[in-house]
Amino acid sequence: MTDAVNVDYSTKIPNNVGLTEDRQVLRGLESWHPGYLDWWKDMGPDGFQDSLVYLRTAISVDPKGWAKFDYVRMPEYRWGVLLAPKEEGRKVNFGAHLGEDAWQDVPGEYRAMLRRLIVIQGDTEPASVEQQRHLGRTAPSLYDLRNLFQVNVEEGRHLWAMVYLLHKYFGRDGREEANDLLKRRSGDADKPRMLGAFNEATPDWLSFFMFTFFTDRDGKMQLESLAQSGFDPLSRTCRFMLTEEAHHMFVGETGVGRVLERTCQAMKQAGIEDPNEIARIRALGVIDLPTIQKKLNVHYSLTLDLFGSEISTNSANFYNSGLKGRFQETKIDDDHRLTDATYPVMRLIDGKLTEVQVPALTALNLRLRDDYTVDCARGVERWNKLIEKTGVSFRLQLPSSAFNRKVGEFRDVNATPKGLLISDAEWARVRDEYLPNSSDGDFIDSLMHAESEPGRYAGWIAAPKVGIDNKPGDFEYVKIAA
């Protein structure tokens, strides 16, 4: 291991990449810093910039102990540049350059492609902070408020990580891209974020939990495949980001889990057996299970769009060039070139869903998406176990990949969650059974009130099993500034 495991805090920008000796990059990042802070104050969490938040900060990249917890005002958070330790002798593990030494510098011929990959990843990080900026005002507890802010500051750090790569390896055009990352805005008509799901609203806390479960999990899959990159600095950056990403998905999974638990508990107490007695269940002040399923439907289908078209020559090029691999590439037992391999794809042929074999290289987006679906399905199963334990008879399900799509093979058709193709007229009739409608939204909205007493939780969500950093139940995770 040649790199420092610990992080240098002597510069304005904490890092383990030797910025003190790298004056030019340090100066570049220092000049980017004020614009970042302006962005954070304008577009970061609304209303809590002076509050003390019990946050974890990465102080090392040692897997056994990399974080410390303390009260921080968010604008003073130490966003750092951290790369996982260098693996000596690492190789390019797939594509046309299989077996060559991993690149420590940008290969000239792939420069534009690589920059694009980094910019697309970088753009998602601030986007989610923007999408979540109003949620603090309705947090169901201080515990949840703190988790929201933890996710937000870490997405900010992920932006820093991508900006470091742009400054360090891409010269002037890299610096321009880094500036543009602060100019686009989620949902903006003129300067939107680059990917669709990152321009959608996150209107309430159930959406936030679904987002961190489903969309941060897309983040995990993208980071996993970039962690395979033959461009070693990108690989090392993404490997460390993945350690933080795990907490974001934890927030989502346990968040939805606690909502399910509370709903089922309330149903049992009121003696309601049928999950479809929506009015009676809502009158208890909890979110009925069919509405939770609708929220799941919308977030899952929006997130599938992030993987891009099922069949894509871009994905083949990224792979051939050794820039973006498959999920757990090095654990797959095949030739890692895929020149002759095929992969099954569901296509729309003569108006029917039909499975066809296509060249595996062109189906890499879909392959990653399939791995993602498997990962999601496991989480949904854990939710179903929670429901089952309460004795309520209801199962959550992932909808078909043809349902509610804006990208790829199924973008022009209407499908039910079971994958049945239906006409426009039929869709108009049944849409509200499958996706949240405005009255579902209004109802959820009516429950969203801040609970800011330590240890108290809004009535629609159960308390967590354990505290963050093993803190007791009534711990004051956020000291809200008056």
Residues that bind Fe ion (CB under 5 A): 125, 155, 158, 216, 219, 245, 248
The minimum distance between CB 162 and Fe ion, in angstroms, equals 9
Cα–Cα distances in angstroms (integers) from residue 289 to residues 154, 263, 437, in the given order: 31, 7, 15
CB 346 to Fe ion: min, Å: 28
As a whole number of angstroms, the distance between CA 434 and CA 168 comes to: 47
| Nearest distance in Å: CB 232, Fe ion | 20
Nearest residue (CB) to Fe ion, 227 versus 458:
227
Minimum Å gap between C-beta 150 and Fe ion is: 10
Least Å distance, CB 252 to Fe ion, is 9
Cβ proximity to Fe ion, 136 vs 408, nearer residue: 136
By beta-carbon proximity to Fe ion, the closer residue of 95 and 252 is 252
Residue 253 token pair? 């999974």
d(CA 295, CA 255): 13
How far is residue 231's CA from residue 236's CA, in Å, rounded to a whole number?
A: 9
State in angstroms the smallest separation of the CB of 200 from Fe ion.
Answer: 16
Give the three-class secondary structure for 342.
Answer: strand
412: tokens are 């022009």
Which lies closer to Fe ion via its Cβ, residue 152 or residue 362?
Answer: 152
Q: What's the first-to-final CA gap in the chain, in angstroms?
A: 47
307 and 201 in contact (C-beta within 8 Å)? no
CA distances from 145 to 140, 150, 245 (A): 8, 9, 18
**Contacting residues for 34 by C-beta, under 8 A, at least 6 apart:** none
Residue 185 or 248: the one with the smaller Cβ distance to Fe ion is 248
**Percent helix, strand, coil in the chain (nearest 5)?**
50, 10, 40
The nearest distance, CB 219 to Fe ion, in angstroms, is 5
Q: Which is nearer to Fe ion, 155 or 177 (CB)?
A: 155
On whether the CB atoms of residues 143 and 467 are closer than 8 A, the answer is yes
Among 348, 341, 361, CA closest to 415: 348
Nearer to Fe ion, 115 or 158 (CB): 158
